[in-house]
Each structure stands twice: as C-alpha cells, then as structure tokens.
Amino acid sequence: MEYPLKNKTIISFSYDCWDGLWQTRQYIMSRLAINNKVLFVSGQFYIWDIIEDIGKRKLAKSGLKKINDNLFSYKPLKFFPLIHKFSFLRKIITYGLVKHIIYLLKKINYNKNDIILYIWRPEFVDMVGKFNEKLLCYHIDDDYAKISGNNKSLILKEIDLMKKADIVFVHSKELMNIKKKYARNIHWIPNGVDFEHYYNIVKSNLIEPSDIKDIKHPRIGYVGRINRKVDFDLIKYIVRERPKWSFIFIGPVNIDNLYDKNIFLNLQREKNVYYLGSKKISELPIYISSLDVCLMCYRVIDWVVYGYPLKMHEYLACGKPIVSANLLAVNEFRNIIKIALTREEWIEYIEDSINENDKELFNKRINIAKNNSWDKRVGDLSNLIHQELEGPLT
C-alpha cells in the first residue's frame, strides 16, 4: 500500500523489543518504514523484569540490528530503564544515550533535516527536543497512569508530553475524550490487523501444528499476553464447570502477583487445560484457526476497560466466534461479538458459539477485520502526519 509520508527519519521510543510479541508499535513502524528510515529504540520498564532477565540471561543483546534497508532496531544497555526510576541518573544517561543514537543514525544514513520523534510512553518525555526533530508524535495505547496505580510523576510526565506533542494518537475513543483537554491536536487511531497474514491461513487449510492437532474439540482459546489483565478466577470457574471442553492458552506469561500465578499453575494441572507457550507471529493464524471459540477474558477494571484488544480483529480475520468481557471498544462490535456480563453468560455464550454453524456470520467477521486492517490504520495515521508537516494532500 502507498502511504503519503515519505523520506523522513522516524525515531520510535517504546518498551517493546522488536523481536518480542508484536504489538501496535511493530505493526505501525514496519509500515512507516516502507518509505521512511525508522530506528525502533526499545527498553524494559519494570526493574524486577531487568533483574529477573539478567539472572536468567533472557535479555536480548544490546545494540543495533538491521531488520531491512529502512528499518533498524536498537536496544540500549541494560541500565537504560533506570533513568525512569532514579532522577539523579537521568541527565547523565540521557545525554550519553542521545549521543549514541545520533551516532547510530549517521550509520544508517538518516535525513537529519526531517526527523520525526515518535514516543509510545510518557517516560520518554526526556527525549523531546534532543534530536532537532521536525515533528513530535505521542501515541497512547493504554491508560498508563492507572496501570501504574495513579503514579503522580507519570501523570505529570504524560501531561507534559501531550502539551508538547504536535500530534497525539489514541487507540480508544473513551480514552481520547479524557486526554483531549491536554492535547491541541488529537486523533483516534484504533488497533488493526495484518489482515492478509491471517486470512491467507484461513483460505489455505494448512495442517494443524503437532502440539494442537490431538487436542479434542471443542477448543476454547485465548491467544495473547497472559498477565494481570486476564480474569483467572473466571477461567478457573469455566474450566471446572465444563470439563469436556478443551481450554488452550497461547502467549508469553508475565503475571506479577502470586495469587494469579498459583491459579494459572493449578489450571495447567487440569486435564482439559493446555498451555502451548509463546508462538512466532507467523504461527499465530494457524493456531487461531484451529480453535472453535476465541476468548477475550479480561478483568473489567478501570484501566483495562479502556483497552482496544489487538487480538479482536485477529480473531475476526480468522472468522472465529468471540466471547468477550464488557470493554468499551468491544461494544462497537456487539452485533458480531458476544459480550458476557456474568459467569453464567460466559458459559452460555461459549456454548452457543460452539454450536454455531453460520456461514454468513463467518463472512461478516472476516469483512469487519478487512475493514480494520493495519494498512488502513497506517494510511490514516500517515496522512495525518503528512498534513501536519506539509499541509493537506491535493
């Protein structure tokens, strides 16, 4: 697809590693890199993640990695995230990091006169103005302040960043309404789906992977990050109420409290529960296609309710029935997604979905996903940035 934004240098700051589970950041930056140089700078957020990963030697190596001719990822040294925790280190480490990033930009033959700074987290506000950037973008895809327990420092950083930003993108309409009082130029850009990647698997009828092919139907599945957003008590209830259903979980585990960790460990001891680990992005469509019903089994708490699940359109692109918690973003699709408000409704709606055999609904789901592709999303986003830089397209 042809995007209007061209020949710029985009420096993206987020906590995600390029090679990790793909999130909004990777999908957007991979497409902007078609016609622009992109340096994807990453770092970890939680201090305990750093300590744990160093102990297990799981951290990706620091340094520059070429993804393709226009796209490069850079993971700074392991101590880089400490600048967000200890203010006395901030100026020293930020200065050194900025100098090193400028050195790396020269290596990748960047255009120093057309730099766009693209920030994904308020903690990176210290990077504003350090690269003589022509445009500052801030992209909000979570309620970061509420996730952090209404951390005052983080709230102030985000307000400062929104006021400085030339353009702000938000994945949720409701969250946009909350943030718009701080931003002079704010736009709704919801999450999308790499439609062709998922739909091509549906059309191809590939053989199921070995670790799922012998699991009996009906298969009820959750694909995505297994973390504190997931309602583990709800899952435990459904698993025990329906022992003849097979429950499949796929994705990285990052559970930060002992209560939920114990539930998930105990769930894996149940005869009808299967945790298949993390999968490559290229493998996810075949696993989703192997499920009968897909779940978005989230806790409906203040910061989760504003989420726009990345997996929603991925499930739909495979034509799968979805049962979801009552998230604000999902309500727009309630004619095609079953929204459960009680434990009893979860079981009822999953059962209805298992018994569904409606080709029209199958096609409708796929068409909705097609209309919510990442190509379309990045086209809209690219157009907005281009207009901010160059004026309206003629």
d(CA 122, CA 90): 14
Residue 334 gets which letter from DSSP?
A: T
E-only strand ranges, 207-359: 219-223, 226-227, 246-250, 253-254, 273-275, 293-296, 322-324, 338-339
Which residue ranges make up each domain of the chain? 9-192+373-390, 195-370
d(CA 193, CA 27): 9
SS3 10: strand
Residues constituting the chain: 394
User: Quick check: 30 and 57 in contact, CB under 8 A?
Assistant: no
Q: How many CB atoms lie within 10 A of CB 142?
A: 18
Pairing of strands 219-223, 246-250: parallel
Cα–Cα distances in angstroms (integers) from residue 365 to residues 86, 243, 312, 317, 375, in the given order? 48, 29, 10, 7, 18
Q: One digit per residue, pLDDT tens: the chain, 394 residues?
A: 778 899 999 999 998 888 888 899 999 999 999 999 999 998 744 443 444 444 444 444 557 889 999 999 998 765 454 455 555 666 777 777 888 899 999 888 888 889 999 999 998 998 999 999 999 999 998 888 777 666 788 889 999 999 999 999 999 998 999 999 999 999 999 999 999 999 988 778 778 999 999 999 999 999 999 998 999 999 999 999 999 999 999 999 989 899 999 999 999 999 999 999 999 988 999 999 999 999 999 998 877 788 899 999 999 999 999 999 999 899 999 999 999 999 999 999 999 999 998 999 999 999 999 999 999 999 999 999 999 998 765 5
What DSSP assignment string belongs to 101-167? HHHHHHHTT--TTSEEEEESSGGGGGGTTSS--SEEEEEE-S-HHHHTTS-HHHHHHHHHHHHH-SE
Task: Tell me 194's DSSP state.
Answer: -
Residue with tokens 């102030």: 156
Cβ–Cβ contacts within 10 Å for residue 152, how many?
A: 10
Bridge-based pairing of strands 71-75 and 37-42 is parallel
Please report the pLDDT score of residue 341 as a whole number: 96
Angle made by CA atoms 29, 30, 32, in degrees to the nearest 5: 60
Domain 9-192+373-390 has CATH 3.90.180.10: no
CA distances to 33, 193, 300, 377 from 372, rounded to whole Å, are 20, 7, 24, 7
> CA angle 7-9-14, nearest 5°?
140
Q: Which helix (H) or strand (E) holds 170?
A: strand 167-170
Superfamily for the 195-370 domain: Glycogen Phosphorylase B; (3.40.50.2000)
Does a cis peptide bond (omega within 30 degrees of 0) precede residue 209? no
Whether the Cβ atoms of residue 31 and residue 59 lie closer than 8 Å to each other = no
Residue type, 176: M
Distances (CA, A) of 104 to 11, 41, 66, 117, 368: 11, 11, 11, 15, 41
**Do 9-192+373-390 and 195-370 come out as alike in CATH topology?**
yes
What is the predicted pLDDT for the residue at 110? Answer: 85
pLDDT, residue 144, reads 81
- The pLDDT value recorded for residue 91 is 72
